[in-house]
Chains A and B, each alone.
Chain A
């Protein structure tokens, strides 16, 4: 018997304009959810075509130029329009004010502007793709991108430029909110580690993104006016482009993974019913990753023509940046010790993250080793490495977080059986897709090749990889379908279906527009699972 619904942020107002002009961080998070899901499927579609082409050694599905555009657009869409916004713009926007005990982010109108900038950038990118696209690779190296290609670099560049400002403003909002809008009693050491992770991410977004913005300006100027900033024929330096590009694009990968680490921390704590092991170490590791992440960019350039001594320095620093990530993995594992572990879908995604991120991170050690990198850079080894982290890590983290907080966001429970199945399918499909690529890389298959008919020995592994990709695609489709289903047919969710710690669980599911009926006053430490599981209470989630 349906009860009269309490007023919450979803039913407070109806109508398209109440959504398009909202300043409520929760509604903006949902606007982002819809947009990034759209771009995820666009990028995924390109990936599917790439894998289909690579089933056979000959270039027989699409033409060379088309293939070059496919991998370029796959990269640009996935990096700039899916991965970088994903967790911060959806889960971060939704949860940061709730977790710190505030009514909204510091600058709600700037938050809305941030979404509109993302949409404008997205529309520009769509237009660019539909009218011919770009074929430089997402890395658009000069002088190919400035002086040789005939595709729409300036338009794609401007799309990324605009979307970049969306990223900067999100970061700005988070930093100010976390500093200035914590509820009384919410000290820094009581913050959920999700907040620490987003704080570190925001620092990178703020300080890194402007550099790629200015790089894009220079590339656009060079193309439009035939200048010689990067073209050696006119006195320019192609390596300067690479330095400027990677100065942002390396920290960018930490923008992609840190939020997922934050999500996984929350999930592991909840489903082990324990405080995270080594809270301060995990918190400071996030900051350390952000800081060191700015110091390693030229490890993408070991064979580019930099000096042997530069290469030494960057290799060393790359090992330094690996250390905080390793520390986090150990702390997560140690959290499971003497826990009380439940295997709900969010936890399955977290386990998947732990396994796949560990593998991706360990293969980073190979790439940081100068002697090995010379052989495997620009091959499928690198492709496998970054997909393990970005897909095996970041996307698993994103999906895990969506499942964990779905009851809070939508007020509904998703079907647990289907969710566990989807997690398993994603895990299997992912490994089948990308593990063979490590082998392909060491064997010498270069990246960005659409025709490998000179090397038919590469075919078997490519076929395995494509098979995995189709499985992976199914795994990604399922959550979209059952989340949508649950919005209509899912069981209504209680305030705290997981009996989880955190201020967001102390308000209703979904929350009211101003988040809390009364301003919270925090007198307890983070992850107070011992209190939550105290004998007088009902233990264990009652979701099912």
Chain B
């Protein structure tokens, strides 16, 4: 019966136990504070109820008491603050070599694309024990990618990337919810996070029929004519993009920014905003000419030509026709771009 009346979601990620530990601490601390106050209230209410002939004693106050019951709670609050901040830092800063998965949210579904090219709708397959970083954007309104069992949540915004990461610890299927109200079918924008043993996951990921995301990106790069200006020699009218991802970039207006996902995306959609020093403002905007999935693919490609990471190198070498049909396959036919 208790299975049908749970009080607590499962812990299925490395951060979940940290969040729960802080939660339990808070339950205890606030429980004790509440108990203290309630006991005083009830006791005083009973002990000092009106009795004929007994008058109230006028007590002005006590500065000592005021200071005590300000300082002690404040110290407790600071402990909670610091602990909460520590958990938050761990939650929000992804490890450097996490596997990347792109997520595009739209009313009212989640579109997931693995770097290897595997696509999913309203599902996300991940292997147990691996750091996974979600790079997310929305096609329309603000959504929020929420996995209660992992204790993580991040709003997904239109016009920019937001990032969320986790490491799953237990195989199983867990709820995925949209947690930012987004219109009519907000409550229908749910899905499953499928955590698999590494072997099963490998089988699944190799069951797809498209190449890695970065290869798609390479195709888009040449189809849209980017390679005309962004050449790999020094004669291009646009900057050479080899090795550029993740490094600092000097801008025309004197600022220096890091070439992260958001910067690459902005360069594609709004080229004048952060123009690189030393180059003419001749890059046309691709706003309206590329879908979110194509932008994701281009970003993956730009990363791959800056890659020194083993993960990226293996992406390019994975072939799509390798494995037999895996036990759990969610291969999606991929003829056309999903808008």
B-binding residues in A (CB < 8 A): 59, 64-65, 68, 135-137, 141, 143-144, 148-149, 232-233, 235, 238-239, 272-275, 277-281, 302-305, 308, 311-312, 315-316, 319, 322-323, 326-327, 329-331, 333-334, 336-343, 351, 354-355, 358-359, 362-363, 365-366, 368-375, 377-379, 439, 442-444, 446-452, 454-455, 457, 460, 529-530, 533, 539-540
Complex: chain A residue closest to B287, CB-CB: A233
Report how far A374 CA is from B23 CA in the complex, Å.
Answer: 12
Report how far A241 CA is from B52 CA in the complex, Å.
Answer: 60
Given the interface pairs A148-B183, A281-B61, the reply to whether A368 lies near B81 with Cβ below 8 Å is yes
Q: Is the CB of B26 within 8 A of A369?
A: yes
Complex: chain A residue closest to B159, CB-CB: A232
Which residues 63-122 of B sit at the A interface, judged by CB distance below 8 A?
65-66, 69-70, 73-74, 77-78, 80-81, 83-89, 91-93, 107
Among B73, B91, B146, point to the contact of A326 (Cβ < 8 A).
B73
A-B contacts, 23 listed (Cβ < 8 Å):
A141-B141, A148-B141, A235-B270, A274-B56, A278-B61, A281-B66, A304-B142, A305-B160, A336-B40, A337-B48, A338-B48, A339-B56, A354-B37, A362-B30, A362-B33, A362-B34, A368-B81, A371-B86, A371-B88, A372-B23, A446-B146, A448-B186, A449-B186
Among B26, B59, B158, point to the contact of A238 (Cβ < 8 A).
B158
Q: Is the CB of B152 within 8 A of A323?
A: no
Complex: chain B residue closest to A269, CB-CB: B56
Contact mask for chain B residues 35-53; partner A; CB cutoff 8 A; 1 contact, 0 none: 0011011001100111110
Is B184 positioned at the interface, with any CB of A under 8 Å from its CB?
yes
Contacting residues, chain B, for A326 (C-beta < 8 A): 69-70, 73
Contacting residues, chain B, for A330 (C-beta < 8 A): 37, 65, 69
Contact mask for chain B residues 162-203; partner A; CB cutoff 8 A; 1 contact, 0 none: 100000000000010111111111111010000000000000
Contact mask for chain B residues 1-40; partner A; CB cutoff 8 A; 1 contact, 0 none: 0001111110000000011001100100010011001101
Among B55, B57, B89, B160, point to the contact of A308 (Cβ < 8 A).
B89
Q: Is the CB of B146 within 8 A of A365?
A: no
Shortest distance in angstroms between B212's beta carbon and chain A's nearest beta carbon?
28
Q: Is the CB of B44 within 8 A of A305?
A: no
Count of interface residues, chain B, beta-carbon cutoff 8 Å: 87
16 extra interchain contacts, Cβ-Cβ under 8 A, other than A308-B89, A326-B69?
A232-B158, A305-B162, A308-B93, A319-B77, A340-B55, A341-B45, A342-B49, A354-B41, A366-B30, A370-B88, A371-B19, A371-B84, A442-B9, A443-B7, A446-B179, A539-B55
Given the interface pairs A323-B70, A334-B65, A371-B83, the reply to whether A366 lies near B26 with Cβ below 8 Å is yes
Q: Is the CB of A371 within 8 A of B142?
A: no
Contacting residues, chain A, for B4 (C-beta < 8 A): 457, 460
Query: Which of B54, B57, B62 neighbours the largest number of chain A CB atoms within 10 Å of its CB?
Result: B57
Contacting residues, chain B, for A378 (C-beta < 8 A): 144, 146, 153, 179-180
Q: Is the CB of A355 within 8 A of B56?
A: no
Among A281, A366, A533, A540, point to the contact of B23 (Cβ < 8 A).
A366
Report how far A16 CA is from B199 CA in the complex, Å.
Answer: 81
Contacting residues, chain A, for B162 (C-beta < 8 A): 305
Is B260 positioned at the interface, with any CB of A under 8 Å from its CB?
no
Report how far A455 CA is from B38 CA in the complex, Å.
Answer: 35
Report how far A444 CA is from B144 CA in the complex, Å.
Answer: 13
- Interface of B, secondary structure class, is mixed
Among B7, B19, B59, B180, point to the contact of A338 (Cβ < 8 A).
B59
Q: Is the CB of A374 within 8 A of B44?
A: no
Among B19, B182, B270, point to the contact of A375 (Cβ < 8 A).
B19
Contacting residues, chain B, for A135 (C-beta < 8 A): 183-184
Complex: chain A residue closest to B69, CB-CB: A330
Shortest distance in angstroms between B41's beta carbon and chain A's nearest beta carbon?
6
Q: Is the CB of B187 within 8 A of A450?
A: yes
Report how far A248 CA is from B177 CA in the complex, Å.
Answer: 29
Among B40, B48, B155, B158, point to the contact of A339 (Cβ < 8 A).
B48
Shortest distance in angstroms between B64's beta carbon and chain A's nearest beta carbon?
11
Q: Is the CB of B141 within 8 A of A143?
A: yes
Q: Is the CB of A143 within 8 A of B158?
A: yes
A-binding residues in B (CB < 8 A): 4-9, 18-19, 22-23, 26, 30, 33-34, 37-38, 40-41, 44-45, 48-52, 54-62, 65-66, 69-70, 73-74, 77-78, 80-81, 83-89, 91-93, 107, 140-142, 144, 146, 148-149, 151-155, 157-160, 162, 175, 177-188, 190, 270
Q: Is the CB of A444 within 8 A of B177?
A: yes
Report how far A352 CA is from B142 CA in the complex, Å.
Answer: 39
Q: Is the CB of A369 within 8 A of B80?
A: yes
Among B9, B78, B157, point to the contact of A444 (Cβ < 8 A).
B9
Contacting residues, chain A, for B83 (C-beta < 8 A): 369, 371
Report how far A355 CA is from B34 CA in the complex, Å.
Answer: 8
Report how far A322 CA is from B29 CA in the complex, Å.
Answer: 15
Report how far A304 CA is from B270 CA in the complex, Å.
Answer: 23
Q: Is the CB of A141 within 8 A of B23?
A: no
Shortest distance in angstroms between B149's beta carbon and chain A's nearest beta carbon?
8
Shortest distance in angstroms between A437's beta carbon and chain B's nearest beta carbon?
13
Among A149, A368, A457, A529, point to the contact of B56 (Cβ < 8 A).
A529
Complex: chain B residue closest to A311, CB-CB: B88
Q: Is the CB of B178 within 8 A of A446?
A: yes
Q: Is the CB of A279 within 8 A of B60?
A: yes
Shortest distance in angstroms between B300's beta carbon and chain A's nearest beta carbon?
22
Q: Is the CB of B58 within 8 A of A444?
A: no
Contacting residues, chain A, for B85 (C-beta < 8 A): 312, 315, 370-371
Given the interface pairs A333-B37, A439-B7, the reply to whether A233 lies near B70 with Cβ below 8 Å is no
Contacting residues, chain A, for B159 (C-beta < 8 A): 232-233, 238
Contacting residues, chain B, for A312 (C-beta < 8 A): 85, 88
Among B8, B58, B153, B178, point to the contact of A530 (Cβ < 8 A).
B58
